[in-house]
Amino acid sequence: MAPKSYAFSRDTLASMRLYFQHWMWRYQTGYLLHPTILIRKEGLKVADVACGTGMWLIELARTLPANAQLDGFDISAEQFPPKEWTPSNIALQTLDCLAPLPDHLVGKYDIVHVGMVVMLIRNEDPTALIKNLIAMLKPEGYLQWDEVDCGSFHPIPTNPSMPHPFYDKLLIAHGVWLSKRGITFQWVGDINTLLAAQSLDVLSHQRLPISDALKKPWTDMQLMATNDINESYVIPTLAKDASPNAEEFREMFTGMAEECKQGMSITMDMIVVVGKKKL
């Protein structure tokens, strides 16, 4: 069996988690498009890569002229809403963002947005993705990259002396499992440098810790994500004699969820990078 490239399921709960994450991201940042991005009033073309449910574009459509062309791309259409329920200027379609870019998308967009692709990158090398994103831009077009820095993943108990052994064990177990598959996260903190190396002018690089107001909902969302990774990605691949085994992974998750009920938040940093393609 070929290795699964996406770490999550695409069922109703998974879509709910993406909606939840989207709205919390906007609550924390206060914007959909970063303020450094200048918006043309006529003929604007925007792409959202790895668009998931399409909600980023659906919200953005309310803020732009009706003649803006908004295109969403994802490797799977399973979480797209019906076309009849989306604004008429939005088109959602499938695309493998790591494969060679189709010619008709080269140099097409004024703005390209990408987000939450951290689990797609292997061996610390997002070069193929970055080249595709930049290739989609018109000269002087903007790239906005919203990403979670999973390398900054850490617990914050309301009581600093509160132990969290189940969290600690699951973090180590997931880290070992992911690293064996080439999934590590050091590159996320260097997105600005990686974009600059591809001749993009970096206009902004923000690192935003999860605010106190979001610690509870973000933790709930992260529990949903962790359970999904366990059940959809990790456990189905375990050998019969694996250690930890399936039961132990589930016990670690259940214990971590209980630690959260007792006053522990699971947090990480948000990363937002904006770049502009040279003329």
Torsion of CA 57, 61, 62, 63, to 10 degrees: 100
pLDDT at 5: 62
Q: How do residues 174-193 score in pLDDT, each as one tens digit?
A: 999 999 999 999 999 999 99
Window from 40-49, 53-62, 253-262 with minimum mean pLDDT: 40-49
Q: Is residue 250 scored above 80 in pLDDT? A: yes
Task: Give the mean model confidence (pLDDT) for residues 133-142.
Answer: 98
Please choose, from the candidates 50, 176, 208, 198, the residue with its C-alpha nearest in 3D space to the C-alpha of residue 131. 198
The verdict on whether omega for the bond into residue 102 sits within 30 degrees of 0, i.e. cis, is no
pLDDT at 42: 85
Longest dimension (CA), the chain: 61
pLDDT at 41: 76
Q: Is residue 71 scored above 70 in pLDDT? A: yes
SS3 101: coil
Q: Is residue 217 scored above 60 in pLDDT? A: yes
- Look over the chain and give the mean of its residue pLDDT values, rounded to a whole number: 95
Q: Is residue 2 scored above 70 in pLDDT? A: no
pLDDT at 3: 44
pLDDT at 4: 53
Beta strands of 166-219 (E only): which ranges? 200-209
78-94 burial string, b = 16+ CB within 10 Å, else e?
ebbeeeeebeebbebee
Q: How do residues 196-211 score in pLDDT, each as one tens digit?
A: 999 999 999 999 999 9
How far apart CA 195 and CA 203 sit, in angstroms, is: 11
pLDDT at 227: 95
Q: How do residues 138-182 score in pLDDT, each as one tens digit?
A: 999 999 999 999 999 999 999 999 999 999 999 999 999 999 999
Task: Give the mean model confidence (pLDDT) for residues 225-239.
Answer: 94
Q: Is residue 128 scored above 50 in pLDDT? A: yes
Q: Is residue 117 scored above 80 in pLDDT? A: yes
Looking at the chain, the whole-number percentage of residues with pLDDT higher than 90 is 94
Please choose, from the candidates 55, 169, 174, the residue with its C-alpha nearest in 3D space to the C-alpha of residue 116. 55
Give how far Cα 210 sits from Cα of 37, 59, 154, 218, 219, Å.
Answer: 24, 22, 11, 8, 10
Q: Is residue 1 scored above 90 in pLDDT? A: no
